[in-house]
Amino acid sequence: MVMRGAPPGAPDGMPDMMPFAALALGTNLITLAADGVPKLNIEPSCKAAGIEGMALGRTTQSCINDENTARDQLVKDWSTYSAADKSHCLSMVSTGGSPSYVELLSCLEMSRDAKKIAQGRVNEVLPQPTPRRRRR
């Protein structure tokens, strides 16, 4: 095993294999499709959510339902997101835990909306107020 100098704050002798190990773990959780929404392994996070959320009425099945709804929305909108945003968000949701379609969708929507705001297109991001009817 090749050893190198440790980055600031890390113990000396950190092996070079750490990034590879993280990559290998991440590949088990995400399967990329050629041009479509990637296949995420949501079971571990939904099982954990079901166990931890029982007191709040959150079940494994409700988590799976939320994930499937988010995946359906991603399938519908996938072609509207930039390749850079897809790459960024996929790396974000696959780091540090089980991936989630809900998190992927949120990341893509926030990235898209942030660009619109930066371009001065705030009206496309913020909900428009509905006119109120006057009472007679």
* Residues 77-114: tens digit of each pLDDT: 999 999 999 999 999 998 888 899 999 999 999 999 99
Cβ proximity of 45 and 96 under 8 Å: no
The pLDDT of residue 88 is 95
| CA dist., res. 65 & res. 59, Å (int) | 10
The model carries a pTM of: 0.66
* Paired residues of 39 in beta bridges: 31
Is residue 3 within a helix (H) or strand (E), and if so which, with residue range?
none
Quickly count helices (H) and strands (E) in the chain. 5, 2
Shortest CA distance to 50 belongs to which of 60, 35, 40, 63?
60
Convert the pLDDT of each residue in 52-63 to its tens digit.
766 677 788 999
Do 104 and 89 form a contact (C-beta atoms < 8 A)? yes
Distance (Å, rounded) from C-alpha 124 to C-alpha 117? 8
Overall average pLDDT of the 10-28 stretch: 44
Q: What long-range pairs does 68-73 form, CB within 8 A, spacing at least 24?
A: 68/101, 70/100, 70/101, 70/102, 70/104, 70/105, 71/37, 71/40, 71/101, 73/105
